[in-house]
C-alpha cells in the first residue's frame, strides 16, 4: 500500500484530458442520465398542466437549479472543502468535527448529523440504480410498439441489475476504462437529440432568463412548490462531484462540468421543452421521443449502458463509504476484498453488494415503474444536500476562520434552497418517499448502536484494565520464563494491559523475549504516510508500546507498518513473530448503557463482524486468540 493523495495539477494536456475523460464516466454518470426522467416527472403526475408558460417556467427552474446547486454550490464552493485532497460526506464530517474539536457538545451533534447523512446515502444508493436502469429499459415501449414489451420491462431491468451486481466480485478495472468513452458518447448524443428541436423552436431559449422561473413561482406558488419535487431530479448525482474529488482533483471535474456536461444537459432539457411546445402529448416520454423512430432502439441500448455506468459509480461509492465508516468506527468490520493489485481504491464488499442488490430488486418490484420510483427519489438526495451545506458552514467558519456574516450568507443561501427542495419532496413521503427514509433510519440505527456499543465496551474494559507499565514492573519482580521470538499484543487502548497478555501469562506462564504492545489508531483524515505511521515508546525489559496511525482511506496493515521499526532494536522476523488478540464476547444486561434490544443488536453485530486479524491483515498462521467476556 502506498499512501496517495488527490491528483496534483496535471503535467501535460494529455494527462488533464485523461483525468477529465475519467471524470465524465465516474463523476457524471448519475446526473448525466437524469434527462431520462426529470422533465417527464414534472408533468407526468398531472399537477403541472402542459402549457407554454409552464413549460418555459419549468425549463427555467431546471436551468437555474443546475446553475445554483451544481455550478455555484458544488463546483465553486464545496470542492474547495477537501480533506487532504479527499471529498465526500465522510471527509466533510471529519473536517467539520475536527474544526469544532474544542466544542464537545457541538462536535457530538455534528457527528450524529453526519452519521445520519451517511446512512441516508444508502437509501439513495438503492433508488438511483433502480430508477436509472428502469427508465432506460422503459424506452423499449417507445422504440418498439408492442404490448408484450410492457410486461418485459421489469424482467429485463432485473436481469441487467443482476448481471451488474454479479460481476462486482471480479472488479471493474477492465470495463471501467470504457466508462469515460461511453459517457462521452452519451453526452454527445444528448446534444444531438436536443439541438435540432431547439433550432426548430428557438423561442424556448427565453427560459434561460430567471424571470420565467420567478413568474412561474409567483403566479402559481402551490403548483411550483409541487413541481420542485421533480425539478430537483435534474441535480441528483451532484454529490458525486464532491465524493470523487480524491480520484480526479478539482480541475478535471470543473472542466468536464463547464465544458461538456452542463451544456449537454441544458441542450437536451431545452430540446425536450421545445418538443413539448410543439406536441404536449410527447409528455409520456419526451426524452425518447426526441429521437427519430429508427434511432430509438439503439438509443435504448446506449441509455441502458449509461445507466449501468451511473449505477456502477454509485455501487463503488457505497463500497468506499462503507470502508471509511468501518475505519472511523461507525460500522462493524466487514470483509473487504481488493480487486486490483495496482489501485487500492478498487474494493469489493460482499455484504454491501448483495444487501444493495436485495433492496434494489425490492424497489423495482414494489414500485414497478420509473414514475412511481420518482416519488421515492429526491428525499434522500435533498436531505444529504442539506446536511452537506450545514457541514460546510462549520468548516468555513471554524476550520477556515472566515467571518460569521460571509459564512451565513454563503451557506444560508444554499440552505434555503436545499430546505425548499426537501420540503417539496416531503409531499411524496406517503407515495414512496418513505422507502429510502426507512433504509436510512435502519442504517442510522445500526451505526449509532455500533458506535455507542463500542464506547460501552471500551469503558467497561478501561474500568477493569490495569495500567501497563505498572503491571510489567510487577511481573518482572519475579520474571516468568522467557521464550525466543517476538510477541505482538494488540491493544484497544494505549497504556493499558491487554487481556491477551494476562491470559497468556495465566495459562502459558511464559513471556516472549521481545514484546510489542500495539495500539492501532484511525484518524479523521484520509491518508497518513509512512513517515507518520509509527510511534514507539520503550517500557523496559525488551518491551515497547507502539502506536500505529492510519487514515480512514488507508488499508490497515499491521505487519507492514511494524517493519518500519526495523533498525530500532526490535527483531521482527515474520517467521518468529506471533500476534496475540483478545476476542471479546459481549453479554447484554438489563440496566446497561442502551436499551436491551439495542444491546442485543450490538452483541449480534459484534459477533458477526469480520475478524480483527483479517481487518488488520495479520498472517493467519501466526495468530493466537484468547477469549474473554464483557458485560455491557
Interval 241-255 mean pLDDT: 84
CB proximity list for 102: less than 8 A, separation 6 or greater: none
User: Are 18 and 101 in the same domain?
Assistant: yes
Q: Are 19 and 7 in contact (CB under 8 A)?
A: yes
Rounded Cα gap, residues 336 and 348, in angstroms: 6
Out of 452, 476, 500, a domain closes at 452
Do 198 and 267 contact (CB within 8 A), yes or no?
A: yes
Q: How far apart are CA 316 and CA 312, in angstroms?
A: 6
Average pLDDT over residues 456-461: 86
Q: What tens digit of pLDDT does each residue of 119-168 get?
A: 998 988 898 899 999 999 988 888 776 666 778 889 999 999 999 999 88
Please indicate, yes or no, whether residues 533 and 396 belong to a single structural domain of this protein: no
Helices and strands, counts by H and E, the chain: 28, 8
CATH of the domain at 307: 1.20.1740.10
pLDDT at 627: 75
Domain that holds residue 229: 13-452
Please, which pLDDT band fits residue 583 given cuts at 50, 70 and 90? confident
Does residue 8 sit in helix, strand or coil? coil
Is residue 6 situated within a structural domain? no
Residue 585 and residue 507 in one domain: yes
**Cα angle for residues 451, 629, 457 (degrees, 5° grid):** 20
Share of the chain above pLDDT 90, in %: 50
Q: What percent of the chain has pLDDT over 70?
A: 96
Give the three cell numbers for residue 533: 505511521
If asked whether residues 351 and 302 sit together in one domain, one would say yes
* Model confidence at 10: pLDDT above 50: no
- The answer to whether the beta carbons of residues 617 and 556 sit under 8 Å apart is yes
Handedness of CA 357, 362, 365, 366 (dihedral sign): negative
Lowest mean pLDDT among 150-159, 164-173, 345-354: 164-173
Distance CA(169)–CA(347), nearest Å, equals 9
Q: Is the pLDDT of residue 355 over 90?
A: yes
Q: Does the structure show a pLDDT above 50 at 2? A: no
497, 564: one domain = yes
Average pLDDT of the residues in 309-315:
87
485 and 432 in one domain? no
> Are the beta carbons of 564 and 535 closer than 8 angstroms?
no
CA–CA gap between residue 201 and residue 277 (Å, rounded): 8
Q: Which among 452, 481, 507 is the end of a domain?
A: 452
Tell whether 294 is covered by a domain: yes
Would residue 156 count as lying in a domain? yes
The pLDDT of residue 438 is above 90 = yes
Between residues 341 and 564, the one the model is more confident about: 564
Three-class SS string for 376-434?
Answer: HCCHHHHHHHHHHHHHHHHHHHHHCCCCHHHHHHHHHHHHHHHHHHHHHHHCCHHHHHH
Q: What is the pLDDT of residue 477?
A: 87
Q: Are residues 228 and 369 in the same domain?
A: yes
Residues 454, 378: Cα–Cα separation, whole Å: 33
Tell me, yes or no, whether 8 lies in a domain.
no
Indicate if 293 and 388 belong to the same structural domain.
Answer: yes
Residue 577 lies in a domain: yes
The count of domains in the chain is: 2
User: Has residue 515 got a pLDDT over 80?
Assistant: yes
State mean pLDDT over 567-578: 85
Cell of 340: 486490483
- Give me the helix-helix angle, 350-367 and 296-327, nearest 10°: 130
Q: What is the pLDDT of residue 147?
A: 62
pLDDT band at 1 (very low <50, low <70, confident <90, very high): very low
Confidence grade of residue 543 (pLDDT, cut at 50, 70, 90): very high
User: What is the pLDDT of the chain when averaged over all its residues?
Assistant: 88
What sign does the dihedral 40-45-51-57 (CA atoms) show? negative
Q: Look at the alpha carbons of 368, 293, 295, 273 in this order and tell me if their dihedral is positive or negative.
A: negative
Q: Does the residue 41 lie in any domain?
A: yes
Residue 328 placed within a domain: yes
User: Of the residues 411, 427, 452, which one is the last residue of a structural domain?
Assistant: 452
Asked whether residue 177 falls in the same domain as residue 132, the answer is: yes
Same-domain status, 475 and 496: yes
Helix (H) or strand (E) holding 479, with range, is none
Q: Are residues 278 and 228 in the same domain?
A: yes
Top-confidence residue, 434 or 461: 434
Backbone angles phi, psi at 414, to 5 degrees: -70, -30
Hunting for cell 500495539 — which residue is that?
Answer: 518
Maximum alpha-carbon separation in the chain: 95
Q: Are residues 495 and 437 in the same domain?
A: no
Question: For residue 35, is it within any domain?
Answer: yes
Amino acid at each position: 500500500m502506498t499512501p496517495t493523495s488527490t491528483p496534483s495539477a496535471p503535467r501535460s494536456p494529455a494527462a488533464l484530458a485523461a483525468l477529465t475523460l475519467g471524470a465524465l464516466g465516474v463523476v457524471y454518470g448519475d446526473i448525466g442520465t437524469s434527462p431520462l426522467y426529470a422533465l417527464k416527472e414534472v408533468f407526468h403526475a398531472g399537477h403541472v398542466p402542459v402549457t407554454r408558460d409552464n413549460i418555459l417556467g419549468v425549463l427555467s427552474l431546471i436551468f437555474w437549479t443546475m446553475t445554483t446547486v451544481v455550478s455555484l454550490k458544488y463546483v465553486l464552493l464545496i470542492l474547495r472543502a477537501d480533506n487532504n485532497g479527499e471529498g465526500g460526506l465522510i471527509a466533510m464530517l471529519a473536517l467539520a468535527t475536527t474544526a469544532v474539536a474544542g466544542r464537545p457538545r457541538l462536535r457530538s451533534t455534528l457527528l450524529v448529523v453526519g452519521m445520519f447523512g451517511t446512512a441516508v446515502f444508502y437509501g439513495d444508493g438503492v433508488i438511483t440504480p433502480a430508477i436509472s436502469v428502469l427508465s432506460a429499459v422503459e424506452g423499449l415501449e417507445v422504440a418498439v410498439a408492442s404490448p408484450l414489451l410492457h410486461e418485459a420491462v421489469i424482467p429485463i431491468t432485473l436481469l441487467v441489475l443482476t448481471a451488474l451486481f454479479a460481476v462486482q466480485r471480479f472488479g471493474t478495472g477492465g470495463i471501467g476504462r470504457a466508462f469515460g468513452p461511453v459517457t462521452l458518447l452519451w453526452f454527445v448524443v444528448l446534444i444531438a437529440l436536443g439541438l435540432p428541436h431547439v433550432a426548430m423552436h428557438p423561442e424556448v431559449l427565453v427560459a434561460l432568463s430567471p424571470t420565467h422561473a420567478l413568474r412561474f413561482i409567483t403566479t402559481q406558488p402551490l403548483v411550483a412548490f409541487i413541481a420542485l419535487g421533480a425539478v430537483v431530479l435534474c441535480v441528483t448525482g451532484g454529490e458525486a462531484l464532491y465524493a470523487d474529488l480524491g480520484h480526479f482533483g478539482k480541475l478535471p471535474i470543473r472542466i468536464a462540468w463547464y465544458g461538456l456536461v452542463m451544456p449537454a444537459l441544458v441542450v437536451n432539457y431545452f430540446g425536450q421543452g421545445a418538443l413539448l411546445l410543439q406536441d404536449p402529448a410527447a409528455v409520456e416520454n419526451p426524452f425518447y421521443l426526441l429521437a427519430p423512430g429508427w434511432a430509438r432502439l439503439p438509443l435504448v441500448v446506449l441509455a441502458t449502458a449509461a445507466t449501468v455506468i451511473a449505477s456502477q459509480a454509485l455501487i463503488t461509492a457505497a463500497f468506499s463509504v462503507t470502508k471509511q465508516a468501518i475505519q472511523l468506527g461507525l460500522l462493524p468490520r466487514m470483509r473487504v476484498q481488493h480487486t486490483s493489485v495496482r489501485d487500492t481504491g478498487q474494493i469489493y464488499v460482499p455484504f454491501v453488494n448483495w444487501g444493495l442488490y436485495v433492496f434494489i430488486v425490492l424497489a423495482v418490484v414494489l414500485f414497478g415503474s420509473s414514475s412511481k420510483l420518482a416519488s421515492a427519489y429526491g428525499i434522500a438526495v435533498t436531505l444529504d444536500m442539506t446536511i452537506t451545506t450545514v457541514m460546510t458552514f462549520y468548516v468555513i467558519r471554524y476550520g477556515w476562520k472566515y467571518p460569521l456574516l460571509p459564512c451565513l450568507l454563503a451557506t444560508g443561501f444554499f440552505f434555503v434552497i436545499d430546505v425548499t427542495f426537501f420540503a417539496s419532496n416531503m409531499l411524496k413521503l406517503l407515495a414512496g418517499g418513505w422507502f429510502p427514509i426507512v433504509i436510512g433510519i435502519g442504517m442510522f440505527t445500526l451505526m449509532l448502536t455500533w458506535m455507542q456499543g463500542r464506547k460501552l465496551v471500551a469503558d467497561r474494559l478501561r474500568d477493569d484494565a490495569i495500567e501497563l507499565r505498572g503491571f510489567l514492573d510487577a511481573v518482572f519482580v519475579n520474571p516468568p520464563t522467557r521464550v525466543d521470538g517476538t510477541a505482538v499484543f494488540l491493544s484497544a487502548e494505549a497504556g493499558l494491559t491487554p487481556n491477551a497478555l494476562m491470559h497468556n501469562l495465566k495459562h502459558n506462564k511464559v513471556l516472549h523475549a521481545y514484546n510489542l504492545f500495539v495500539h492501532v489508531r484511525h484518524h479523521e483524515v484520509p491518508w497518513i504516510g509512512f513517515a507518520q505511521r509509527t510511534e514507539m515508546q520503550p517500557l523496559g525489559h525488551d518491551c515497547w508500546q507502539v502506536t500505529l496511525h492510519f487514515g480512514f482511506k488507508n488499508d490497515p496493515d499491521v505487519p507492514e507498518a511494524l517493519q518500519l521499526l526495523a533498525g530500532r532494536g526490535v527483531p521482527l522476523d515474520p517467521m518468529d513473530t506471533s500476534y496475540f488478540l483478545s476476542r471479546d464476547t459481549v453479554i447484554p444486561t438489563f440496566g446497561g448503557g442502551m436499551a436491551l434490544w439495542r444491546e442485543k443488536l450490538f452483541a449480534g453485530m459484534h459477533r458477526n463482524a469480520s475478524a480483527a486479524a483479517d481487518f488488520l491483515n495479520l498472517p493467519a498462521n501466526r495468530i493466537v486468540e484468547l477469549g474473554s467476556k464483557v458485560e455491557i
